[in-house]
Structure formats: structure tokens, C-alpha cells
């Protein structure tokens, strides 16, 4: 709540400043051009690298799951970040009718747009973004049940298979929304929620891709959901002065 109220109030403030600017402009035309009294704000640019805590902790408490995801973003412009996630998952799914293990690696590349107007030297983010994801994985069908609606000769028993399916792949796009907050010097906590849309996949001949590393399960048609909870470290590379919109306005006048 605190963030949201800050966000709205800051946007209102920004809008108000535009109003006063319009008035100022009329006066500055008549007067000689005054020097900016505000000290130019400098913002830090750099690389942020981190790890998904959710996948990491899940690997400890869920015996059928092992996964790791490294996240990173690079600040390109004031509001745009180049973002990527790279991960590896090993998951065994024990369903009613099939039991299988999926192993694979994925990479997601895209950008984030920071919609949050920071106050002072804050470097927080409320962002939306897009990702393009690719996964390369293999599956092993551990066991399955044969569905027989007329078990006149007795119910089918579980069939142990162990059949491997290698060289599978999938591609998808993700719409990301999330937050990143600086908790202490250069350390950030982040949370993101993702909606995935599968674009294409290479399925095995005699099975299906029920779980795709990085994409998550595929039971709901071509749509999927995912999220991560990250802790990351910011490596500052350079500082850049915030370009005020006033300079652009001044240029127009000249």
C-alpha cells in the first residue's frame, strides 16, 4: 500500500510540475534565461545479478524437484532494462495416470520497463516486461496406466516403462510484472509474476510435454503461469545525469 500511494502521489507531483513548467516558460521568454537552481540528479547504471530463492528452497523441501534459476538485468536507459533468466530444472511428476521425469535447461531474454517514479536516491522498481523463452529438455516416462473403460478381463495394472525421450524443445513468450526493492546497500529483493504463452514445441512421438522446464506445466492449453522470488546484487558501472525534460523544452524555444 505504501508503494502504491507513493506511486500515485509521485505521479501527481510529476504532473503538477509540468503545469508549473508551462507557466514558467512564459516568464523565461521575457526574462533572461536563469540557471537551473536544482542540482542535476545522477542515477546509477549497471548490472544486477541474482538467484531465484523459490526454486532454490523448493529443491530442499520437495524431493521430486531440483532447480536453479539465475537472473540478471542491465540498465539500458532510465526506465528500460535488458533482462534475462537462465535456469535448470529436474522434476518428477506423479500424476494419476502417468509418472515422468523432465530434465532441462532454459533461457529467457527480454526487457523490463520500470513504471515506478523513484524519490530521491531510491532505486526501486515496479515493472512490466516481456521475455522470449527457449527450453531444451528430455523426458523419461517412468510408469503409466492403460485406460480401459471396460475392464472385463480385470483392471489394468501400472506398467513400468523407463522409456527416454530426448532432444525435446519448446519456445514461448512471457508477460512479466513484478517489483524489485533495495533492502540494503546494492542488495535487492524481487518478486515477479509471469503469464506464459507457448509458441511451439517439439513433442515426443508417443508422449506429451506435460512439463517444460522454465515454462512450467502445460495442462491449460498453450497458457501457463510462473513466478520467481529473487535476491540480487547490483554492480554499479557508471553514473549518468538525469536528463530533465526542461532542456528539451528550452531547445524548442531557441
Partner 1 sequence: MKKILLVLLIAFSFSACEKDDICTEETTPRLILEFYDISNPANTKNVVSLKVKGSGAFDDLDLGVFSGESKIKLPLNPTATTTKYSLILNSANTTLANEDFIEFNYTTQTVYVSRACGYKTTYQLNNQDGVVQSNAASPDVPWIQNLTIQTNSITTENETHIKVYF
Give the footprint of partner 1 on this chain (CB under 8 A). Answer: 1-4, 95-98, 144-156, 159, 179, 191, 193, 206-208, 210, 219-220, 225, 227
By beta-carbon proximity to partner 1, the closer residue of 10 and 105 is 10
Alpha-carbon span 193 to 210, nearest angstrom: 21
Least gap, CB of 28 to partner 1 (angstroms):
41
Alpha-carbon span 215 to 200, nearest angstrom: 12
Least gap, CB of 190 to partner 1 (angstroms):
12
By beta-carbon proximity to partner 1, the closer residue of 40 and 221 is 221
By beta-carbon proximity to partner 1, the closer residue of 113 and 191 is 191
Angle at which helix 2-30 crosses helix 245-253, to 10 degrees, equals 20
Q: How far is CA 60 from CA 53, 190, 196, 253, in A?
A: 11, 21, 26, 63
β-pair type (125-144, 216-217): unpaired
Least gap, CB of 210 to partner 1 (angstroms):
6
Least gap, CB of 213 to partner 1 (angstroms):
17
Least gap, CB of 34 to partner 1 (angstroms):
41
β-pair type (80-94, 223-241): unpaired
By beta-carbon proximity to partner 1, the closer residue of 17 and 148 is 148
Q: Which of 118, 71, 114, 104 is nearest to 211 (CA)?
A: 104
By beta-carbon proximity to partner 1, the closer residue of 12 and 225 is 225
Instruction: Decide: helix, strand or coil at residue 118.
Output: coil
Q: What is the chain's length?
A: 254
- Which three cell numbers, joined as nine digits, stand for 129? 516486461
Alpha-carbon span 162 to 99, nearest angstrom: 10
Least gap, CB of 221 to partner 1 (angstroms):
9
Least gap, CB of 33 to partner 1 (angstroms):
44
Maximum separation of any 2 CA atoms in the chain, in Å: 99
By beta-carbon proximity to partner 1, the closer residue of 17 and 222 is 222
Cβ contacts of 90 within 8 Å, gap of 6 or more: 65, 66, 67, 101, 102, 103
- Which three cell numbers, joined as nine digits, stand for 8? 500515485
By beta-carbon proximity to partner 1, the closer residue of 111 and 211 is 211
Amino acid at each position: 500500500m505504501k508503494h502504491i500511494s507513493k506511486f500515485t502521489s509521485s505521479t501527481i507531483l510529476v504532473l503538477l510540475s509540468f503545469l508549473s513548467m508551462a507557466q514558467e516558460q512564459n516568464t523565461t521568454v521575457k526574462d533572461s534565461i536563469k540557471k537551473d537552481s536544482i542540482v542535476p540528479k545522477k542515477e546509477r547504471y549497471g548490472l544486477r545479478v541474482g538467484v531465484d530463492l523459490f526454486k532454490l528452497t523448493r529443491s530442499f523441501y520437495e524431493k521430486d524437484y531440483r532447480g536453479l534459476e539465475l537472473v540478471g538485468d542491465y540498465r539500458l536507459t532510465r526506465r528500460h532494462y535488458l533482462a534475462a533468466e537462465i535456469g535448470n530444472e529436474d522434476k518428477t511428476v506423479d500424476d494419476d495416470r502417468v509418472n515422468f521425469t523432465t530434465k532441462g535447461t532454459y533461457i529467457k531474454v527480454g526487457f523490463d520497463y520500470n513504471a515506478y517514479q523513484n524519490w530521491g536516491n531510491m532505486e526501486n522498481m515496479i515493472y512490466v516486461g516481456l521475455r522470449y523463452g527457449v527450453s531444451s529438455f528430455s523426458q523419461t516416462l517412468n510408469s503409466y496406466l492403460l485406460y480401459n473403460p471396460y475392464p472385463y478381463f480385470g483392471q489394468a495394472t501400472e506398467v513400468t516403462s523407463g522409456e527416454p525421450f530426448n532432444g525435446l524443445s519448446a519456445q514461448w513468450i512471457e508477460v512479466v510484472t513484478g517489483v524489485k526493492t533495495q533492502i540494503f546497500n546494492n542488495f535487492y529483493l524481487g518478486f515477479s509474476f509471469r503469464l506464459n504463452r507457448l509458441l511451439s514445441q517439439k513433442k515426443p512421438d508417443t508422449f506429451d510435454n506435460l512439463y517444460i522446464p522454465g515454462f512450467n506445466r502445460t495442462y491449460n492449453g498453450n497458457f501457463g503461469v510462473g513466478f520467481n522470488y529473487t535476491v540480487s546484487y547490483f554492480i554499479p558501472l557508471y553514473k549518468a545525469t538525469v536528463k530533465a525534460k526542461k532542456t528539451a523544452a528550452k531547445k524548442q524555444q531557441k
